[in-house]
Structure 1
Amino acid sequence: MAMNASQLFLRRAQKVGSRNLAALSRDARSPIFSPCPACRHLSRTTRRSKPAPADDPNFLSIVDNPPNLVRTGRRHGPGLIILALIPITAFALGSWQVQRLDWKSKLVAKLEDRLVRDPLPLPPRIDPDAISEFDYRRIYATGHLRHDQEMLIGPRMRDGNEGYMVITPLERGDEGTTVLVNRGWISKKFKNKESRPDGLPKGEITVEGLLREPWKKNMFTPENSPQTNEFFFPDVEQMAKLTGSQPVWIEETMEPDLLSTWDRDARGIPIGRAPEVNLRNNHAQYIFTWYALAAATSVMLWMVVKKPPGDIARRVRQNKEWR
């Protein structure tokens, strides 16, 4: 028998009511949540065994106690130590060059003082150990040039032209001794003595020049070869033994006259050096270079220390007083 509309509505209402009643019974068995006025979060209404930190009136949260930013891990590696040593080393080298400049300036002043004095006659016998005390001292000596024992040191450049330094023993008749004379520079085309008759004076002559200390060979200069008459640097002791001379080195001087220099160059006459001190004095440039390097690397070190390294960019918050 078909159900009418009122009976169907009543049966559906009974089913819905039974489902709602079951839901209410489940909620009755579960704990009830209500908003907490202290921390504004949901909390259980059931009794707790331990009080919450927020219940303490002296509690300070992270908002009340602001944190500090700290870095973690290693700040810098060993490269920072190397970078720190560069300005220290550069400053030390610059200070050392200051001392070298003072020493070289005094040495040049002492040698220039010797140049302004009147020339002395060269004694018959000279103590090689005493030559350093008369370095750059003007002297003169009289004798005969031994062109048969001439030695050429080179190649040597002068104004862009290749040539040689002419070394000739001076035999002094009255004293009976011989010294080595650096007569000056000649062009390469006058290497053979036959091509420069004007540059081979005969008879007794007087040579005026500077008494100099023996030269020192650097590591890049090849050894002399006396067997083939090839000399690359003035080894005074070696040349003195070859010619039977005293180990005394004299550099002949001439006044720096351009016309006289051109005439000597054209005739194959050795061009002597000017009577002046030619010591290198670049210590002021070295001072500027080392101090500038020290300043630049100091700025670099400051920038590196100030800027955090790339591998330690992570930061963490650390509270002043954790509770």
Structure 2
Amino acid sequence: MLRLCRLVSRPLKQSYGPPTVQLVTRKMAQTPFKAGQPDWTTSIPRPKENEKITAMGWFLLLIPATTFGLGCWQVKRKIWKEQLIKDLHEQLNMEPVALPDNLNDVKQMEYRLVKVRGHFLHDKEMRMGPRSLIRPDGSETQGGLISKRDTGNGYLVVTPFQLSDRDDIILINRGWVSRKHAEPSSRPLGQISGELELTAVVRKGELRPQFTPDHSGGKVYLYRDLQQMCAKSGAAHVFLDAVYDEKVSTDAPVGGQTRVTLRNDHLSYLVTWFSLSAATSYLWYRQIIKRIPF
């Protein structure tokens, strides 16, 4: 019992627990950095600006180079399209020529003025539309499929034309009539009979526009479907737009409904390509040359 009391009365040895570790940690934090010791706080080193450009860097340069080349190509396309439109308008003002003996040559004469002599076959008349009216001054009325205004919405009257100097029949777009004058009986004075000579513009057939329904072989055609029109009327594959004539009857269709349908969007295309080239060139210079991260 006495021995047990002595053991209990002895002082315990000093413990080396967390307080000691905390003091050591503070000393390490307060110890100044000495030369030659590694700096564990240093992040990943940045690439030097004078490092060589890798193969991937040169490959990425193809993006601004390609877009710049496409912009230059659109500049050439714009010049070509503007000259083509100018030439077409000049053809519309040239002296009319006679219809060639071989009607297959007419395919190469689009927008050329020709003179023909013969008479209309009104019993095979067809309509194409709805269409808006192109006035003699070049302005156009607002009309379409939904519009009900007779002054702006109507049809183009397409009538087979029997040539006088040969047995061939061709198709002539006589011009525009309003909805209320769509039927031939509503414009008796405009149904010209007998032989006449007229000037017209050579046109080609049209492909079926996207989402356009089929006209089902009726008298009303939604676009210039030369195949079906000629098959129904027995005409050759020649389509002419009659020019405007102020001397015709007020009941007759209004001629001069030729549209030069050539889109010229090359200006917007070249601006887009050059903008992409400038933007990608800046990104390439920033990332590959200057090594500036985002």
TM range (shorter): 0.5 to 0.7
Residue in structure 1 matched with residue 184 of structure 2 by the alignment: 193
For 1:298 and 1:167, locate their aligned partners in 2 and report how far apart those are by CA, in whole Å.
Answer: 56
Instruction: Give me the CA root mean square deviation.
Output: 3.8
> Structure 1: where are the runs of 5+ without partners?
1-40, 42-53, 55-59, 73-79, 310-323
Offset at residue 173 of structure 1 (A) = 3.1
Structure-2 change in CA distance of 1:298 and 1:250 (3 Å) = same
Q: Following superposition of structure 1 onto structure 2, how do residues 13-32 of structure 1 map, counting pairs within 5 Å?
A: none
Aligned residue in 1 for 2:122: 147
Q: What SS does the corresponding residue of 2:77 show, helix, strand or coil?
A: helix
Find the partner of 1:231 among 218, 221, 225: 221
TM-score, structure 1 normalization:
0.59
The 3 A distance-change label for structure 1 pair 163 and 275 is: closer
Conserved 8 A contact 2:103-2:238:
no
How many Å separate the matches in 1 of 2:65 and 2:210? 30
Larger % of strand: which? 1
Q: C-alpha separation between the residues in 1 aligned to 2:61 and 2:189?
A: 65
Q: Map Cα deviations across residues 56-82 of structure 1 (whole Å, 9 max, x no partner).
A: xxxx5369xxx786259xxxxxxx9xx
- Residue 126 of structure 1 corresponds to 102
Report sequence identity in percent: 33
Aligned counterparts of 2:107 and 2:87: Cα–Cα separation in 1: 12
Pairing partner for 1:247 from 237, 241, 250: 237
Give, in angstroms, the shift of residue 179 of structure 1: 0.6
Distance in 2 between residues matched to 1:90 and 1:131, nearest whole Å: 40
Number of residue pairs the alignment of both structures matches: 233
Does the 8 A contact of 1:187 with 1:268 survive in 2?
Answer: no
Structure 2: unaligned runs, 5 residues or longer? 1-30, 48-56, 134-140, 144-152
Structure 1 residues 212 and 295: alpha-carbon distance in aligned structure 2, compared to 1, 3 A threshold: same
Q: In structure 1, what is the Cα distance between the partners aligned to 2:210 and 2:170? A: 27
Following superposition, the deviation at residue 277 of structure 1 comes to 4.6
1:183 aligns with 2:174: yes
Structure 1 residues 301 and 221: CA distance shift in structure 2, 3 A:
farther
Amino acid of the structure 2 residue aligned with 1:250:
L
Query: Within the alignment, does 1:102 sit opposite 2:48 as a pair?
Result: no
Residue by residue over 1:83-120, the C-alpha shift from the partner in whole angstroms, topping out at 9 and shown as x without a partner, is 98875664454333223223323433443443343211
Structure with more of its chain in helix, by fraction: 1
* Bigger CA radius of gyration: 1
Judging changes above 3 Å, is the alpha-carbon distance between structure 1 residues 92 and 218 closer, same or farther for their aligned structure 2 residues?
farther
